[in-house]
């Protein structure tokens, strides 16, 4: 048995001691003595405080102590824990886009669950580790009826995008270690991506960027099987839309926009969205389904609109047509982000060792008693204890009246 409010037990113990002391020192009826001139004694209750030489009315004392104990027990919130039933398994599986091959996740999950005949609960992580850990804790509370401890396993590519500022605090709520099972991550950058630059002019500065990035021609077959096409016209043709419907990424980056004095270099990334420095002649685009790049003032610089199996990336960033900007690394990164925009999240790289240590935690399996919520069972036990206390007090009242009589 464990208690939700153990301090109530301490209070109850103090109350019982006080009851015993009060019983010994209480207003006991003094020894009766025939006294003819009793009428001259002032009127008062026919009892007086005196210390008992030995306890009397033990039944009364016992009933009072029982009542106090019951009340203290009711307020302490007893939780009757079942007998030891072993360990459970809570598995968080990464279903986000950072995992290269979902089949590998399935294989890992199968190997985890097949090797032991214990209760297993699987939590899918799609948006991040925080929500997955919260869900895992909820599952652990549910499993507390079947096991007394739970092991947490996280099957993930451990991409840095899976954690946020709240993850560490939520992770601490799981009072045990977590076993980290790493699966293959989706490659970062645009390795294997082929950008179709057939519609681009030969002097298009973006062409130099594409070539420098190794994304043109037969640089390699994309693992996803999806190509990227950059459209530099002001409007998208029906053929381009059809390509998008077929699964391609169409980057609509009009070339007729005015030149800028300097390049829009990405400054930072927040939750998967590039933030670009605000330019004097900033052009915004419609928000689309998802914004992949924003200006510093919050306006969308590039957005993704889902189109069938693929997507269309509408870009409002105006590249310089002269200078070395298209040849620089940061510009290539910008293009890589746009080329990868159709993916649910673009990868920001693997978690560092500190973050992995935070996720791994310390200790062994987490005890489920601490995660168990005070449910109806606790309330029922408390109610019964209160009823028993009331019954004891009623009996005490009857006995006290009989003793007084």
Partner 1 sequence: MAGTAYGELLDAVRGIRWPARAPVRAALSGTHQSRQRGTSAEFNEYRLYRQGDDTRRIDWRLLARSDRAYIRLATDRTVLPTLLAVDGSASMDFPRGAGSKWDFARSIAVGLAGVAHAQGDPVGLVVAAKGRVELEPRSRRSVVWEIGRALSDVEPGGTAAVAELLKGRSLPPRLVVFSDLLGDLGSLYQVLRAHTAAIGEAYVVHILSPLELDPPERTVLAVDPEDDRLRRPLTVQSRGAYLEAFARWREEAALGCRSSGATYLTATTDERPDRTVRRIAGGDR
Query: Which residues would be at the binding site for partner 1 (CB under 8 A)?
Result: 29-48, 50
Residue 33 or 258 having the CB closest to partner 1: 33
Which residue, among 267, 291, 295, 272, has the nearest Cα to 282 in the 3D structure? 295
Report the 10 Å Cβ neighbour count for 54.
6
Full strand arrangement of the beta sheet holding 290-295: 195-196, 228-231, 249-252, 310-315, 300-307, 290-295, 273-276, 268-270
- CB-wise, 34 or 354, nearer to partner 1? 34
The distance of closest approach from Cβ of residue 44 to partner 1 in the complex, given in angstroms and rounded to an integer, is: 6
Residue 166's CB: how many other CB atoms inside 10 A? 14
Distance CA 376, CA 384 (A): 12
Closer to partner 1 at the Cβ: 31 or 203?
31
Task: In angstroms, give the least distance from the CB of 74 to partner 1.
Answer: 38
Between 36 and 225, name the residue whose CB sits nearer to partner 1: 36
123's CB contacts (< 8 A; 6+ apart) are: 90, 91, 92, 93, 132, 135, 136, 139
Do the bridges between strand 178-182 and strand 149-156 make them parallel or antiparallel, or are there none, so unpaired? parallel
Q: Which CB sits closer to partner 1, 179 or 400?
A: 400
Closest separation in Å from C-beta 397 to partner 1: 22
CB 28 to partner 1: min, Å:
9
User: Measured from the CB atom, is 32 or 117 closer to partner 1?
Assistant: 32
Give how far the C-alpha of residue 359 lies from the chain's centroid of Cα atoms, to the nearest Å: 12
Shortest distance, position 49 Cβ to partner 1, whole Å: 8
Q: How far apart are CA 383 and CA 31, in angstroms?
A: 42
Secondary structure class of 93 (helix, strand, coil): strand
CA separation for the pair 158, 178 (Å, rounded): 13
Closer to partner 1 at the Cβ: 41 or 271? Answer: 41
Smallest separation, CB 40 to partner 1 (Å): 4
CB of 370 to partner 1, least distance (A): 55
- Residues paired with residue 311 on neighbouring β-strands, in sequence order: 249, 306
Compute the distance between CA of residue 251 and CA of residue 272 in angstroms, rounded to an integer.
18
Q: CB of residue 64 vs partner 1: minimum separation in angstroms?
A: 23
Nearest-5° Cα angle at 278, 276 to 282: 105
Nearer to partner 1, 42 or 117 (CB): 42
């Amino acid at each position: 048995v464990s208690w939700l409010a153990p301090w109530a037990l301490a209070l109850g113990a103090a109350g019982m001691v006080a009851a015993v002391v009060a019983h010994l020192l209480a207003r006991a009826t003094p020894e009766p003595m025939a006294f003819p001139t009793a009428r001259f004694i002032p009127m008062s209750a026919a009892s007086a405080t005196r210390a008992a030489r030995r306890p009397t009315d033990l039944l009364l004392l016992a009933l009072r102590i029982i009542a106090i104990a019951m009340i203290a027990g009711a307020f302490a919130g007893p939780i009757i824990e079942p007998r030891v039933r072993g360990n459970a398994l809570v598995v968080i599986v990464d279903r986000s886009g950072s995992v290269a091959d979902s089949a590998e996740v399935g294989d890992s999950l199968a190997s985890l669950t097949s090797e032991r005949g214990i209760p297993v609960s699987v939590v899918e992580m799609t948006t991040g580790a925080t929500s997955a850990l919260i869900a895992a804790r909820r599952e652990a509370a549910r499993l507390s009826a079947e096991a007394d401890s739970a092991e947490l396993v996280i099957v993930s590519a451990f991409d840095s995008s899976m954690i946020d500022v709240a993850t560490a605090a939520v992770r601490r709520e799981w009072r045990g270690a977590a076993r980290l099972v790493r699966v293959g991550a989706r490659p970062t950058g645009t390795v294997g991506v082929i950008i179709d630059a057939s519609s681009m002019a030969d002097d298009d500065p973006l062409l130099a960027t594409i070539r420098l990035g190794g994304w043109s021609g037969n640089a390699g077959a994309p693992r996803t099987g999806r190509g990227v096409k950059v459209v530099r016209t002001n409007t998208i043709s029906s053929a381009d839309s059809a390509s998008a419907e077929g699964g391609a990424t169409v980057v609509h980056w009009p070339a007729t926009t005015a030149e800028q004095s300097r390049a829009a270099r990405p400054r930072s990334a927040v939750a998967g969205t590039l933030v670009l420095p605000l330019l004097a002649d900033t052009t915004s685009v419609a928000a689309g389904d998802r914004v992949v790049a924003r200006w510093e003032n919050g306006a969308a610089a590039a957005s993704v609109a889902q189109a069938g199996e693929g997507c269309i990336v509408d870009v409002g960033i105006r590249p310089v047509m002269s200078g070395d900007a298209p040849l620089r690394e940061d510009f290539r990164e910008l293009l890589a982000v746009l080329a990868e925009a159709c993916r649910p999240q673009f990868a920001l790289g693997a978690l560092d060792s500190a973050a992995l240590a935070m996720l791994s935690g310390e200790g062994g399996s987490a005890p489920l008693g601490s995660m168990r919520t005070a449910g109806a069972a606790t309330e029922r036990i408390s109610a019964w204890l209160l009823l028993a206390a009331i019954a004891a007090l009623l009996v005490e009242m009857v006995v006290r009246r009989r003793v007084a009589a």
